Amino acid sequence: MCGVPATLDDLGFAKVNLTLHVVGRRPDGYHEIDSLVAFARVGDRLSFAPGGPLTLDVKGPFAAMAGTLDDNLVIKAAHALERLVGGLTLGRFALEKRLPVAAGLGGGSADAAAALRLLARANRIPAADPRLFAAARTVGADVPVCLDPRPRLMGGIGDMLSAPLDLPPLPAVLANPGVPVATREVFAALDAPMLPAAHQRGPLELPPHTVRERIARGRNDLEPVAVRLCPAIADVLAALRGCAGCTLARMSGSGATCFALFEGEPAAQAAARALGTAHPQWWIAASALGAGSPAA
């Protein structure tokens, strides 16, 4: 395409649920949540060469766990947007899978969101085009919040998003024990209250000065269930809480990745090094949490 680079690049930023409250289970079986979401400055790298048939090549340390191409959310996102945009130019995707899979970081959803951003750039679709959000909603519950990776409140089944929140970068360490945890199994084991058929959520609003307080007072309702299914999560939480300078440790999403917040970046970096030495089999990353950054 004239004026479009031969290859475009983007990042699928790791999504971290700083809080995750389960409101209840709807009559259709889906669970409604109330979550404060931020993004780490680490993620999968996705490139796109416009033109030709739709293809995907997956490499990287977690490529073997990424599943079949037909199930990959990058391909599903491209097909979803193609159904909404006539004459959409497709092409060749290459994914470097650097985030663990089934880890509570929304890696697949972040990859799908990155694919939509790349397709939008290649086809000169404005970032605010509602068709991008519509495509994201059809691919997965976490894809809409990953489309514009900035801190937000997420509600409903992931389809309700607040405006971006003013959250300063939070020094953090992410740690995963290398054990995949299936989101479906965690929710299936959760004894959540039933919501009435007429249940409706109000608008998602949070004054900026209450964000840190909300994190401190929050919780992850999936954490106790996930720990029962995957006891290694408790080991990760204990290790994080034992690090010097840790102010809070909690599980992200449905696990098994956990995060710890620290008083400053040096403390986070030191903790990541110490954890890496003590647990060389774990995936560990020190990163500020906030808005995703192209510098990741």
pLDDT band at 66 (very low <50, low <70, confident <90, very high): confident
pLDDT of res. 60: 97
The domain boundary, picked from 139, 161, 183, lies at: 161
Mean pLDDT, range 222-248, rounded to an integer = 98
Mean pLDDT, range 256-273, rounded to an integer = 97
Name the least confident of 112-126, 209-223, 262-276.
Answer: 209-223
131 & 184 share domain: no
Cα distance between residue 169 and residue 118, in whole Å: 26
How many domains would you assign to the chain? 2
Better pLDDT: 212 or 17:
17
Flag whether 263 is in a domain: yes
56: β partners: 93
pLDDT of res. 290: 93
Read off the pLDDT of residues 173-189 as tens digits, 9 standing for 90 and up. 999 999 999 999 999 99
Read off the pLDDT of residues 159-175 as tens digits, 9 standing for 90 and up. 899 999 988 899 999 99
Do the beta carbons of residue 257 and residue 222 sit within 8 Å? no
Q: Give one DSSP letter per residue of 54-99, joined into a string.
A: -EEEEESTTGGGS--GGG-HHHHHHHHHHHHSTT---EEEEEE--S
Question: For residue 207, is pLDDT > 70?
Answer: no
Do the beta carbons of residue 16 and residue 28 sit within 8 Å? no
pLDDT band at 292 (very low <50, low <70, confident <90, very high): low
pLDDT of res. 295: 39
Flag whether 296 is in a domain: no
Q: Give one DSSP letter per residue of 5-65, joined into a string.
A: -SSEEEEEEEEEEEEEEEEEE-TTSPEEEEEEEEEEEEEEEEEEEESSS-EEEEESTTGGG
pLDDT band at 271 (very low <50, low <70, confident <90, very high): very high
Do the beta carbons of residue 275 and residue 243 sit within 8 Å? yes
Residues annotated as catalytic are 15, 142
44 & 69 share domain: yes
Question: For residue 201, is pLDDT > 80?
Answer: no
Do the beta carbons of residue 155 and residue 201 sit within 8 Å? yes
Residue 97: give the domain boundaries: 8-161
Mean pLDDT, range 263-281, rounded to an integer = 97
pLDDT of res. 3: 63
pLDDT of res. 294: 43
Flag whether 46 is in a domain: yes
Flag whether 1 is in a domain: no
pLDDT of res. 198: 73
Q: What is the CATH number of the domain that holds 242?
A: 3.30.70.890
Cα distance between residue 220 and residue 223, in whole Å: 5
pLDDT of res. 211: 81
pLDDT of res. 296: 41
pLDDT of res. 210: 72
The domain boundary, picked from 141, 161, 181, lies at: 161
pLDDT of res. 197: 80
Flag whether 2 is in a domain: no
Question: For residue 200, is pLDDT > 80?
Answer: no
